Amino acid sequence: MHESRIQTRWSDFDALGHITAAAYPLFFDEGRDACLTAAVGSFGDWPSVLVHVSIDYRREIRHPATEVLVRSRIVEVGRTSITFEQEVVAPDGETAATSRSVLVAWDAEARAARAISDDDRAKLI
């Protein structure tokens, strides 16, 4: 499991005084990126595209939370895809949101999915 601490910004909060639903996809994206960078390299070295994401919002995180913790784990590596399960954890340690997403390894030149090599698969599992 990979953990990323992400600083909140003023714009992450809404008029109700909690983190807006629109901020969570960005938190999850940053967590996935950090997880992949640690495993196989930066986006420039290992491009991918998001093909699916679902988010369940479980509880609010109220202002003035200055950071959230994103836990990311790879639960499946397919021929061209990687499935993640993630959670955003509030400063009090409680899970605020969970997500399941699928990324596809990308060949920028061909503009299409590419197979994940055996070497990369070993690093991702």
d(CA 66, CA 87): 17
* Tens-digit pLDDT profile for residues 76-112: 999 999 999 999 999 999 999 999 999 999 999 999 9
Q: Is the dihedral of CA 79, 86, 125, 106 positive or negative?
A: positive
Can you give the pLDDT at residue 82? 98
Distances (CA, A) of 5 to 47, 68, 122, 125: 23, 6, 26, 22
Domains present along the chain, CATH in parentheses: 2-110 (3.10.129.10)
pLDDT averaged over consecutive 10-residue blocks of the chain (125 residues)?
Answer: 97 97 98 97 96 98 97 98 98 98 97 97 95
d(CA 94, CA 112): 39
pLDDT at 121: 96
